[in-house]
Amino acid sequence: MQNVINTVKGTALGVAEYWTPVLKESKFRETGVLTPEEFVAAGDHLVHHCPTWQWAVGDETRIKSYLPHDKQFLLTRHVPCSRRCKQMEYCEEQEEIIEADDPDGGWVDTHHHDLGALGLDEKVSEMTLEPKTESAALDIKASGKTSKPNFAPSGNNNGTAVGGDDDDDDDDDDEEAIDMEQFEESGLLDEEDQNTVIASSNPTKEMEASAGEIIHTRTYDLHITYDKYYQTPRLWLSGYDEKRKPLTVEQMYEDVSQDHAKKTVTMETHPHMPGPPMASVHPCKHAEVMKKIIQTVTEGGGELGVHMYLIIFLKFVQAVIPTIEYDYTQNFAM
């Protein structure tokens, strides 16, 4: 049903955009909108300061006459997205107050105990010495079959043990082997530990065992187009898994703030490219947000040039897609 609604809205907006005249006079400071010429100027500034972005043309049959032929929209590829938005959801149990003695209340780390967000899990707790392992060590020591450390005593500069020879080394190896056999036969070496020993002796199997711990990072191609109806930039997203297989609609919604999924972010037809609908951040509020930013800067005694539009645009749109790490632009202070 939602797809039908989006299709109807997209068709209606397409008709409205067709009949909307091209903005000729700058209204950037008054309303936060852009003319096509201002969009190109802001795009040139973005490409210059952040070379990961570049101009693109798209389908020749969809060229917009009010934009230069070689500057139809902006594009950046292979933007990493290593976490889902759900992993960033707020949970009071994960909080930890940093600098609690601070009279101003200190800092609050909202994901201090979120081991999953750090790529860790409950297995960290297993790094401590288990009671049964401790018991096993005592049993072996009591049997008198402990392995001998292989190091040179102090005062011997030739790197060999005093009074030692090759035969002693062979005896040590045999003794260690017997200890391991008895350890396994005693049942104290559980199945997980045995797998660890086997994997350590076989580098190929060890690599295969660790392969499951690799973080599979999604990537996104991002486009910025000029929306003639709203007279603002518009962001489009196309996602891929670690094998560059296109993500499904529901998978892409996993990387969108749940406050904006299927509301601010919808699936619509790209104005410059054929193919299935793409995820898009709807531009209906962009001009309003930009107008407030301009007013804030002006009240602070500053001045915001139109060339900075896309730099700022990428920063406030980050709230909608916080886990897609595309913003490598210069810093901006209010």
Give every CB contact of residue 42 below 8 A, 6+ residues apart in sequence: 34, 233, 306, 307, 308, 309, 310, 311
- pLDDT (tens digit, 0 to 9) for every residue of the chain, 334 residues total? 445 544 455 555 556 766 789 999 999 999 999 999 999 999 999 999 999 999 999 999 999 999 999 999 999 999 999 899 877 754 455 445 544 555 544 444 444 444 444 444 444 334 333 444 444 444 444 444 444 444 444 444 444 444 445 555 555 555 554 455 554 555 544 544 545 444 444 554 444 444 455 557 899 999 999 999 999 999 999 999 999 999 999 999 999 998 888 888 999 999 999 999 999 999 999 999 999 999 999 999 999 999 999 999 999 999 999 999 987 666 656 5
Which residue among 50, 81, 85, 284 is the active-site one? 284
Catalytic: 284? Answer: yes
Torsion of CA 222, 227, 232, 235, to 10 degrees: -20
d(CA 22, CA 328): 31
Residue 64 DSSP SS3:
coil
Q: Are 11 and 269 in contact (CB under 8 A)?
A: no
Q: Which amino acid is at 236?
A: W
d(CA 280, CA 258): 15
Q: Which amino acid is at 168?
A: D
The CATH classification number of 2-82+217-317 equals: 3.30.1460
Model pTM greater than 0.85?
no
pLDDT score at 80: 94
pLDDT score at 109: 44
Residue 201 DSSP SS3:
helix
pLDDT score at 209: 44
Domain boundaries, the chain: 2-82+217-317, 88-118
